[in-house]
Structure 1
Amino acid sequence: MRHGVAWAFGLAEDLLAEALPRRWAHSQGVAERATELAHVLGTDAELLRAAAVLHDVGYAPSIAATGFHPLDGARHLRVVHGADERLVRLVANHTFALWEAEERGLRGELEAEFPVLEEPSLIDALVYCDVTTTPDGRPTTSVQRVAEIRGRYGDDSLVGRFIRRAAPELHACVARVEARLVAAPDGSAHPR
Structure 2
Amino acid sequence: MTLFGWAFDVAERKLSESLPRRWSHVQGVAERARSLRSAAGEEADLLESAAILHDVGYAPDIATTGFHPLDGAVFLRSIEAPDRLVHLVAHHSYAELEACLRGLSAELSEFTDERGPIRDALWYCDLNTTPDGEEVDARERIAEIKQRYGPGHLVTTFITEAAPELLAAVDRTRQRAEAAVS
**TM-score normalised by length of structure 2:** 0.97
Structure 1 runs not aligned, ≥5 long: 187-192
Q: Which residue of 1 aligns with 2:62?
A: 63
Q: The residue matched to 1:133 in structure 2 has which SS?
A: coil
Contact 1:132 1:142 in 2 (8 A): yes
Q: The residue matched to 2:86 in structure 1 has which SS?
A: helix
For 2:5 and 2:112, locate their aligned partners in 1 and report how far apart those are by CA, in whole Å: 26
1:145-176 deviation digits (Å, cap 9, x = unpaired): 00010011113111110000001111111111
Structure 2 runs not aligned, ≥5 long: none
2:138 to 124, 138, 142: 142
1:99 to 82, 97, 103: 97
Q: Which residue of 1 aligns with 2:155?
A: 159
For 1:155 and 1:143, locate their aligned partners in 2 and report how far apart those are by CA, in whole Å: 17
Q: The residue matched to 1:184 in structure 2 has which SS?
A: helix
For 2:180 and 2:9, locate their aligned partners in 1 and report how far apart those are by CA, in whole Å: 31
For 1:68 and 1:62, locate their aligned partners in 2 and report how far apart those are by CA, in whole Å: 13
Q: Report the count of equivalent residues.
A: 182
Q: Which residue of 2 aligns with 1:183?
A: 179
1:3 and 1:85, CA in 2 relative to 1: closer, same or farther beyond 3 A? farther
**TM-score normalised by length of structure 1:** 0.92
Give the counterpart letter for 1:155 in structure 2: P
What percentage of residue pairs aligned between the two structures are identical? 54
For 1:110 and 1:146, locate their aligned partners in 2 and report how far apart those are by CA, in whole Å: 23
TM-superposed deviation, 1:3: 6.5
1:68-121 deviation digits (Å, cap 9, x = unpaired): 000100000001x1000000000000000010001100012101x11212x411
1:25-50 deviation digits (Å, cap 9, x = unpaired): 00000000000011011111000000
Give the counterpart letter for 1:59 in structure 2: Y
Contact 1:19 1:60 in 2 (8 A): yes
**Deviation beyond 2 Å, 4+ runs, structure 1:** none
Q: Which residue of 2 aligns with 1:86?
A: 84
Q: Which residue of 2 aligns with 1:190?
A: none
| Residue 24 (structure 1) aligned with residue 39 (structure 2) | no
For 2:58 and 2:179, locate their aligned partners in 1 and report how far apart those are by CA, in whole Å: 36
Q: Which residue of 2 aligns with 1:47?
A: 46
Give the counterpart letter for 2:132 in structure 1: D
